[in-house]
Amino acid sequence: MDKILRIDMGAEGGPRSTETPLGEYAGFGGRAMTSAIVSKEVPPLCHALSAENKLVISPGMLSGTIAAMSGRISVGCKSPLTGGIKEANAGGQPAQVLARLGYAAIVLEGKPKDGTLYKVFINKDGVKVAPDNSLKMLPNYDLIAKMKAEHGDKIACISIGPAGEMKMSAASIACTDMELRPTRHAGRGGVGAVMGSKGVKVIVLDDTGMKMRSPKDPEKFREANKKFVEGLRQHPVTGQGLPAYGTNVLTNILNEVGGYPTYNFKQGRFESAGKISGETQAELEVKRGGLATHGCHRGCVIQCSGVYHDKDGHYLTKQPEYETVWAHGGNCGICDIDAIAMLDFLDDNYGLDTIEMGATIGIAMEAGLAKFGDGEAAINLVKEVGKGSYLGRILGNGAAFTAKAFGVERAPVVKGQAMPAYDPRAVQGVGVTYATSPMGADHTAGYAVAQNVLKVGGDVNALKPEGQVELSRNLQIATAAIDSTGMCLFIAFAVLDQPDTFQALLDLLNSFYGLDLTADSVTELGKKVLSFERDFNSRAGFTVQQDRLPRYFKTELLPPHNVIFQVKDEDLDKVFNW
C-alpha cells in the first residue's frame, strides 16, 4: 500500500485517474487515512454534495495480510447528515483486495457536469473509469449480479443503491462479502449520497495475480498472529457468545438491564424481546438451512455473522445484526423476525443505513404514519424510500429530517445522526460517546457498553454519571486507533481483558512494518485521529453546543429504572481534555 489513487470525476474530457505517492499520509491507514485527507483537503464549509467534498476509501494498516480480523475498510467525507467529518466502517472483502492491489486509499474528487453514471474497474493492470448508464437505479443485489456476469466471481465490489443515487442522507455504501453479496455496509452519515454525488455507481476490484502483503519479519508476524487468534478464541465474548448467536446476542442482555430503547426511546424494555433475540434467531437460521455462524470476510475467526433464509428455505439476507434487529424491531415495536429480515434485505438492496432507517420509521410511527408493531407497514415505508416518492425522500433523509417534516419533538439524534440500540439514560457511558463523538451519535466510536453492561475491561455503573467521561474518552481514543489498523472492533473485548492479546496486536504491527510501537503509541495515534476530526468540525462551525444529547433525555424518566441522563454539560466538555 504505497500509493493513493485519485479519481477526478469532474475533469475536462471526462474522469481522470492518477496515482500519487503517500507523502504526508505515509504510515496512515483506515480511519487515520480518511480523517487526515478529509481534514486537510476538504473545505469544512463546503456543501457535502458539492464538487469540493471528497470521498476517501481506505483499507487498514494490516489489510491484505494474513493477520486475522484485518478486513475492515473505512470510508470518509464531509457528511451530508451531520455537516461534520465522517468515517463509516464496513467489513466484507474490498479492504483485503484493495490493499493487495497496493492502494492505501482511493480518493473520489470533483463531480460530473452531467448525469452520467460511472463504473470504476481496478486490477493489477491499472484503472478504468467507464460511463455506464445501464446501471442507473439498479438495487445493489441486481447490480452485483451484473458485475459478476461481466467480470467473474473473483472480484470484490463497493457500490451504492438507488438511495445513494438519489443523494439521500441515510444512504450507505455496500461492500460485498465472501459470497459476493452486497451485505456489508459503511452505513452511517450518508456516505452513499456523497458517492452518488460523484457519479460513481460501483467500484469493481480484482486482485488476480497479486500476492498477500509481506511483513518485514515474517516469522515474528506469523507467531504474533497465532497468539492473537488464540486470545480471541479464549475470550468468552469473541470465542463463544458472538460465534454462537451473532451480535444479536445483545438483545436479551440489553433488555434485561433496561437499556433497550423501545417505541422510539420511550422505555428500556421490550416485552417481546425474546421473539427477536439472538438465541431465537440462530435457532431459526439453522432450522431453515441457513447459518448461525459465518464470517463477513476471509480471515475472520470470530464469525459473528450468519445467513438468514425465509420460510421456504431460500436465502433472504445475511444474519440481521443486533443494531438492525433493534432498529426495525424493538424500536418500532415489531416482534416478527421475518419482517425484520425483510427490512434488512431492503435496506441493503436500496443502500440504506439500518440504524438511521429504523430510527426514522420509529419517528414516522410516532407521527401516526403507521402503528407501532406493524411490520408490513414498516416494509412499505422502506419501499417508498426505494421508489423515491415524496414520502420516501423525506424518510430517506433520516430521523432528524423526518421529525421536522412531521412535527415530532422526540428525535433521538446527535449532530443530526440517529442513536443506535442503547438508551443513554440506562447506559450513561455510551451517552457520553453519543454526545461528544465527532461522528454524531455512534456506539462504535466509544463502546462504553463493554464496561457499563458486559463488564469487559472494567466495571463502571451504567446508571450513574461517575467515571463515564473518562471511560468514553479512553474508548474513543482506542477505537480511533483500532479503526486505523483495519481490525474488526470486536477484537477490543479480548484486547481489553487480555494483556497478551493486546501485545500480540502490537507485535503484528511492529513485525509487519519494522516498528517499535507501544501502548502509548496506540494512544497517540488515537488522539491524532480525533484531533483531525475535531479540528475539521470546529472549522465547520461546531461548538460544545453540538456535543449534547437532546434535552428530553435529561427530563424524561426511562422505565424500568426511571432514570435520566445525569452527566453534566461541563463534564461533557472535558472529554477531550488530555
Ordered by where they begin, the domains of the chain are: 3-205 (3.60.9.10), 260-422 (1.10.569.10)
Nearest to 330 by CA among 340, 342, 318: 340
291, β-bridge pairs: 307
Residue with cell 463502571: 460
Bridge partners (DSSP) of residue 423 are none
**Which residues are bridge partners to 77 per DSSP?**
86
In the chain (578 residues long), the average pLDDT of successive 10-residue segments reads: 95 96 96 98 98 98 95 97 98 97 98 96 97 98 98 97 98 97 98 98 97 95 96 94 93 97 98 97 95 89 94 96 98 98 98 98 98 98 98 98 98 98 98 98 96 94 98 97 94 93 96 95 96 98 98 98 98 96
Count of all residues that appear for the chain in the document: 578
What are the C-alpha distances in Å from 170 to residues 45, 296, 350, 351, 353? 20, 22, 11, 9, 6
Instruction: Say which DSSP state 238 is in.
Output: I
> What strands, in cross-sheet order, belong to the sheet with 291-294?
291-294, 305-309, 315-318
Tell me, rounded to whole angstroms, the distance of Cα 451 from its chain centroid: 21
Residue (of 75, 61, 373) closest to 198 by Cα position: 75
- Burial of 197-232, coded b for 16+ CB within 10 Å and e otherwise, reads bbbbbbbbbbbeeeeebebeeeeebeebbebbbbbb
* Distances from the Cα of 88 to the Cα of 284, 393, 514, angstroms: 31, 22, 29
Write down the pLDDT at residue 1.
80
